[in-house]
Amino acid sequence: MPELPEVETIRRDLSQRIIGKSINKQKIKNISRRGKLLILKLPNKFLLIHLGMTGQLIYKSKNQITVGGHEGPDISKYTRKRWKISSGDLLFNDARKFGYYKYVKKLDLSKYGPEPENFSFQKSQAKIKPYLLNQKNIAGIGNIYADEILFHAGIRPTRRINKLSKKEKMKIKGSIKYILSKAIEKRGTTFADYRDAKGERGNYKRYLKVYGREDLLCKKCKLNNIKKIKLAGRGTHYCRLCQN
């Protein structure tokens, strides 16, 4: 599921390859990101792309496109949009159709909270995991990295913000930066659908410590199996010994 590290990986790849090129006869001025939203700046409008749960955004230089199935990263029945770029093609694939693209004249990013580097805790009684998933509180974290961040911080996902000590909040802030930057370094996590702008998988999956590891031995304490619960409707993984 494309979260901040995956979208940032795509942003960087695309920046290198299509800035200055033309899309719909308009030059791409730059490519930025807000949370999980990609923003292509054109001369008099913006192209916004959100990948949702299964979206892929793949750039192929001329004559590099191949036809594949849903594993195949190029053109398939899940290709929802094919933009002609002056030097190739930009493909938007999305099997489950949670993603979208749209053109806007004005950017309205008011529904997004701060990027992780500017994050600070607000007063809240919410549980920490749903709090981190709420894009108004902090932009870019999804289900995988929320679990990984809280494991790294040693905090249970069910803890309430107002019950966290100063020290615990500091720890969480550190873990947010640490986990997200590591994941960017490894070009994101591919669980099933995620591909980078070249159609390749991310490499962070093998560094996951809790997500997708239900009933497997905790990699830290090596004493306890990872527990999976449902929290705010989301699968939530943690270690009962390592997280308090």
Partner DNA sequence: CCTTGTGTTCTCCG
Partner DNA sequence: CCGGAGAACACAAG
Q: Which of 27, 81, 96, 163 binds DNA (CB under 7 A)?
A: 96
Q: How far is the CB of 239 from DNA (least distance, A)?
A: 17
Q: Is 81 in the site for DNA (CB under 7 A)?
A: no
List binders of DNA among 2-41 (CB under 7 A).
3, 35-37
How far is C-alpha 87 from the chain's CA centre?
Answer: 27
CB-based contact 204:187 (threshold 8 Å): yes
Q: Which of 15, 235, 240, 241 binds DNA (CB under 7 A)?
A: 235
In the chain, count of helices (H) and strands (E)? 4, 11
Size of the site for DNA (CB under 7 A): 30
Q: Is 202 in the site for DNA (CB under 7 A)?
A: no
Q: Is 234 in the site for DNA (CB under 7 A)?
A: yes
Angle between helical axes of 143-153 and 166-185 (0-180°, round to 10)? 130
Catalytic position from the list 21, 80, 219, 234? 234
Q: Is 116 in the site for DNA (CB under 7 A)?
A: no
Q: How far is the CB of 52 from DNA (least distance, A)?
A: 5
Residues with Cβ within 8 Å of residue 217, at least 6 apart in sequence: 224, 225, 226
Give yes or no: 234 in active site.
yes
Nearest to 201 by CA among 4, 3, 39, 6: 6
Give yes or no: 156 in active site.
no
Give yes or no: 111 in active site.
no
Tell me the C-alpha distance between 192 and 142, whole Å.
Answer: 15
Q: Is 226 in the site for DNA (CB under 7 A)?
A: no
Nearest to 176 by CA among 201, 145, 205, 135: 145
Give yes or no: 2 in active site.
yes
Which range, of 12-20, 125-133, 148-156, 176-184, touches DNA by CB under 7 A? 125-133
Amino acid at site 170 = M
Q: Which of 44, 118, 125, 165 binds DNA (CB under 7 A)?
A: 125
List binders of DNA among 164-193 (CB under 7 A).
none
Q: Which of 97, 174, 216, 223 binds DNA (CB under 7 A)?
A: 97
Q: Where are the beta strands (DSSP E) in the chain?
A: 22-23, 26-27, 30-34, 37-41, 46-50, 55-61, 79-85, 88-94, 100-104, 227-231, 234-238
The residues of the shown chain that bind DNA, judged by CB under 7 A, are 1, 3, 35-37, 50, 52-53, 70, 95-98, 111, 124-127, 130, 133, 135, 142-144, 161, 230, 232-235
Active site residues: 2-3, 36, 234
